[in-house]
Amino acid sequence: MKYKSYSARNFKEIPQVKKYLSKREIFDIEVVSKVFPFKVNNYVIERLIRWEEVPNDPMFRLTFPQKGMLLPEDYEKIAFLVEKGKNPELIREEANKIRLKLNPHPAGQKYNVPQIRGKKLTGAQHKYRETILFFPSQGQTCHAYCTFCFRWPQFVGIKELKFAMKEIELLIEYIKEHPEITDVLFTGGDPMIMSHKVFRSYIEKILKADIPHLKTIRIGTKVLSYWPYKFLTDSDAAETLNLFKTIVDAGYNLAFMAHFNHFRECETPEVREATKRIRATGAIIRTQSPILRYINNSVDVWKKMWSLQVEMGMVPYYMFVVRDTGAQHYFGVFLHKAWEIFRDAYRQISGIARTVKGPSMSATPGKIRVLGVSEISGKKVFVLDFLQGRNPEWVGRPFFAKYNEKAFWIDELEPLDKESFFFEKEMEALVGNT
């Protein structure tokens, strides 16, 4: 398949859009896409979305902007301007105002920028001791955009919010000076959107540096779901797979962190074949996804997804809680509900698939898991723990919060019988009280 992508500018040319969507639905997409980035490709359109089931189809909701993603008053504002044919500059201004209300920079990412010799590595984040994130500048877009994506400010070009870095040399120097770092995680956007040539230039430098404490190269990507041809028919498919093999042969653990939101994404023959080829290089594929209303908030979806992934030789890794940014009001699932779905699906899968952890919130202090709902002296509580902490000492220590049926995120929870959670004082000291 030859890659063809569509955006807000030309989506009306998509034959399925013309055939299956009403004028009203097309207008809604146009309105919402003024605020949220929109990009979809021909594989998603032809192979993933079931157009007869639109608008309820989960793959459609995953990639096409949905009316409910804007709060009613914001929707009305933009819809009015679009309807009146107002000039794009004015619409952009209004859209930017709405964007800035949507917490575009969650989880204190600005605190995690590493430094070496007084120089900031603006394209990297070092939050958890063992793992450094690397945002190669050529990998800051994706094959299609997920409607719930928390990286959305990167794609709409709110300038000061972008991360990107070309200076791989500085990154390598930093890793060398930090013996606690065992993992480097290529992330984005989607680093697998980089051409093989660019990707290889990064990898070769890392391999050449031969840093003894660096054990794992991770790639966080949605390419298997959105463009499996990267490993099948793209002109650099064979070279990309060869490079994976080179990494493995050099003694690294190559962790391919695949992002799937629904079992439907794993089912196509293309994905099955691409998965086989990636595994044949010696890479291990681990899978992760947030839990999302309208897309995968059901026990059956997760049960089926995890089982299928194990059958395909992948390792289920994380279930995330959708972050406190963008259209969280639309995609958000109550914490107690996320836990119930996790638990009920987890109970019904083989022990082999119970490698999965969650539901987990990537928040400013760390990755906080909802271990469950329980009762202490007759009081209903949430039991939580850290899967990752800004201070590694916080990990694996259960703590409690008052039960709150309406909570979507940690900041809506209150400690049980205490002024603050055990980590809060230290947290303030670490990042400043801002």
Ligand X SMILES: *Cc1c(COP(=O)(O)O)cnc(C)c1O
Please check whether residue 226 is in contact with residue 44, taking contact to mean a CB–CB distance below 8 angstroms.
Answer: yes
Cα–Cα distance measured from residue 425 to residue 419, given in angstroms and rounded to the nearest whole number: 11
Q: Is 259 in the site for ligand SF4 (CB under 6 A)?
A: yes
Choose one: 124-132, 162-170, 292-300, 321-329; the region binding ligand X (CB under 6 A). Answer: 124-132
Binding partner at 259 among ligand SF4, ligand X, none, C-beta below 5 to 8 Å by kind: ligand SF4
Q: Is 388 in the site for ligand X (CB under 6 A)?
A: yes
C-alpha distance across the termini of the chain, in Å: 49
Cα–Cα distance measured from residue 72 to residue 77, given in angstroms and rounded to the nearest whole number: 9
Q: Is 154 in the site for ligand X (CB under 6 A)?
A: no
Cα–Cα distance measured from residue 396 to residue 175, given in angstroms and rounded to the nearest whole number: 26
Q: How far is the CB of 86 from ligand SF4 (least distance, A)?
A: 28
Nearer Cβ to ligand SF4, position 58 or 188?
Answer: 188
Nearer Cβ to ligand X, position 318 or 382?
Answer: 318
Out of 77, 196, 222, 264, point to the residue binding ligand SF4 (CB under 6 A): 222
Q: Please state the separation of Cα 81 from the chain's center in Å.
A: 32
Binding partner at 362 among ligand SF4, ligand X, none, C-beta below 5 to 8 Å by kind: ligand X
Please check whether residue 309 is in contact with residue 260, taking contact to mean a CB–CB distance below 8 angstroms.
Answer: yes
| SS3 label, residue 126 | strand
CB proximity list for 128: less than 8 A, separation 6 or greater: 366, 388, 389, 390, 392
| CA nearest neighbour of 282 among 260, 253, 313 | 253
DSSP 193: G
Cα–Cα distance measured from residue 79 to residue 94, given in angstroms and rounded to the nearest whole number: 11
Please check whether residue 194 is in contact with residue 141, taking contact to mean a CB–CB distance below 8 angstroms.
Answer: no
Tell me the per-residue interface mask from 137 to 166 with ligand SF4, x by CB under 6 A, - otherwise. Answer: -----x--xx--x-x---------------
Q: Is 189 in the site for ligand SF4 (CB under 6 A)?
A: yes
Q: Is 127 in the site for ligand X (CB under 6 A)?
A: yes
Choose one: 36-44, 120-128, 294-302, 335-343; the region binding ligand X (CB under 6 A). Answer: 120-128
Cα–Cα distance measured from residue 288 to residue 202, given in angstroms and rounded to the nearest whole number: 24
Q: Please state the separation of Cα 294 from the chain's center in Å.
A: 17
Please check whether residue 210 is in contact with residue 244, taking contact to mean a CB–CB distance below 8 angstroms.
Answer: no
Nearer Cβ to ligand SF4, position 114 or 188?
Answer: 188
Q: Is 34 in the site for ligand SF4 (CB under 6 A)?
A: no
Out of 57, 190, 234, 270, point to the residue binding ligand SF4 (CB under 6 A): 190
Choose one: 9-17, 183-191, 281-289, 323-331; the region binding ligand SF4 (CB under 6 A). Answer: 183-191
Nearer Cβ to ligand X, position 78 or 185?
Answer: 185
Chain residues in the site for ligand SF4 (CB under 6 A): 142, 145-146, 149, 151, 188-190, 222, 259
Chain residues in the site for ligand X (CB under 6 A): 125, 127-128, 131, 133, 185, 362, 367, 387-388
